[in-house]
Amino acid sequence: MATATTSPRIDGGRLLERLATLGEVGSTGDGGCARLALTDDDRAGRDLVVTWMRDLGLDVRIDQVGNIIATFAGTEPELAPVMCGSHIDTVRTGGRYDGNYGVLAGLEVIESWLAVGLRPRRSLAVGVFTGEEGARFAPDMLGSLVYVGGLGIDEAHDALDAAGVRLADELDSIGYHGDTPCPGPTPHAFVELHIEQGPVLEADGVTIGAVTGVQGISWQELTITGQSNHAGTTPMALRHDPSVVVAELTMFVRRLTQQLGGHQVGTVGRVELFPNLINVIPARAVMTVDLRNTDPDRLRVAESAFADECRMLEQSEGVTIERRSLARFDPVEFDATMVDAVERVAGDLDLSVERLPSGAGHDAQMLARVCPAGMIFVPSVGEISHNPAEHTSPADLEAGANVLAVLLAELAELGAAG
Ligand code: GLV
Ligand code: MN
Ligand code: MN
């Protein structure tokens, strides 16, 4: 990595304005955004960001899975580019910063270099990865996983949402089924700037997080089939009730996390009952379980205890439980040089900094499979995220983008361009 490179300061006002403008696309009316992957709102968000990219004169390519890669050519464009970026899809009740911040800060860095006529030696690419959230098409981080060759394009195209809609059809319908081949070119390095989405930085009064890695993620979807029957006439002892199994499993997940302690977390985020009527014992329930741990062995222990509980409930409640894995990623450790560099650059900018692992999944964990990757976090106010109330102070947003700028300037060798 080049040393002692610096970068012009980014324009915080311009970054905030773009964040606010993008936040209006798919606005939920309460400060949040609903831009589920490959919906018309996602298309509108993409169109806006692509317009900004073209206004900056970037070379914008859409790949076969809909990833948008915008490149600012370096003076030696044959060298592997440095890449930054994130995603702009959101959960249905998302905030304005998750993902969007990393993408728009990348554009802001390029604009700040353009403003003073600087061009780095290596090209700088800003990636907008398709379907990071996994809230519509699983797995999460789908676009970046395909970008690095971890998932084949055909398999990705065949992913179905909960309504049975195929990912490739949605790419066609929103006009983002590109022809740039996947996997994409291997970057020299990848950096993702993101809000923390957790409590650590705010609690510690620290501005910058040097992210050490991402915890392991296990997503399962369960289909529980019982016996639909009359709510008034069926004796309790004769019931095979999927809703009871949902409740038992939800409480089991809570107890499991308490028993395992440490970093183990577990969430039942989606539950659907069929036919979902007041006086009918459900025939079927579909529920999701999200288990995460920084320790791969403990995550496996949690998964296996959960599987045992499912088998036990099949016997005791007389139901069948089909389990389908939606996503399964081991914990990832970021490249030590990148973690060190985030810490050093933050210190050079007189910003307080600490190391921490990420609780959320990120595109950077996929890029880490093919190149040195790292992440910069800024604090989340009130530890709220995946919620319209998600917030980070303007000063922290600006500080994080300045760390990104200096780090990208070093990696892409801005000083060397002269
Ligand atoms: C995705 O962002 C996740 O961590 O759920
Ligand atoms: Mn995100
Ligand atoms: Mn998210």
Beta bridge partners of 94: 33
What ligand 1 atom has the least distance to the C-alpha of 359?
4
Strand 189-195 versus strand 373-378 pairing type: parallel
Query: Tokens in use for 392?
Result: 């980070």
CA distance 253 to 242: 16
Using most ligand atoms within 8 A of CB, pick from 194, 362, 377, 390 the residue to mutate for ligand 1: 362
CA distance 170 to 49: 19
User: 22 CA to middle of ligand 3, Å?
Assistant: 16
User: 217 CA to middle of ligand 2, Å?
Assistant: 14
CA distance 1 to 17: 32
Report residues whose beta carbon is within 6 angstroms of any ligand 1 atom.
Answer: 132-133, 140, 360-361
CA distance 91 to 107: 23
Q: Which residues surround ligand 3, an ion (CB under 5 A)?
A: 98
- Listed residue (215, 189, 199) closest to 374, CA to CA: 189
Does the N-terminal peptide bond of residue 235 adopt cis geometry, omega within 30 degrees of 0? no
This prediction has a pTM of: 0.96
- pLDDT by 10s per residue, the chain, length 418: 444 578 999 999 999 999 999 999 999 999 999 999 999 999 999 999 999 999 999 999 999 999 999 999 999 999 999 999 999 999 999 999 999 999 999 999 999 999 999 999 999 999 999 999 999 999 999 999 999 999 999 999 999 999 999 999 999 999 999 999 999 999 999 999 999 999 999 999 999 999 999 999 999 999 999 999 999 999 999 999 999 999 999 999 999 999 999 899 999 999 999 999 999 999 999 999 999 999 999 999 999 999 999 999 999 999 999 999 999 999 999 999 999 999 999 999 999 999 999 999 999 999 999 999 999 999 999 989 999 999 999 999 999 999 999 999 999 999 754 4
C-alpha radius of gyration, the chain, whole number: 23
* Cα→Cα distances 184→137, 145, 150, 200, Å: 21, 10, 11, 34
What ligand 1 atom has the least distance to the C-alpha of 134?
1
What ligand 1 atom has the least distance to the C-alpha of 98?
2
Give the per-residue pLDDT at 415.
79
Give the per-residue pLDDT at 4.
54
* C-beta atoms surrounding 227 within 10 Å: 15
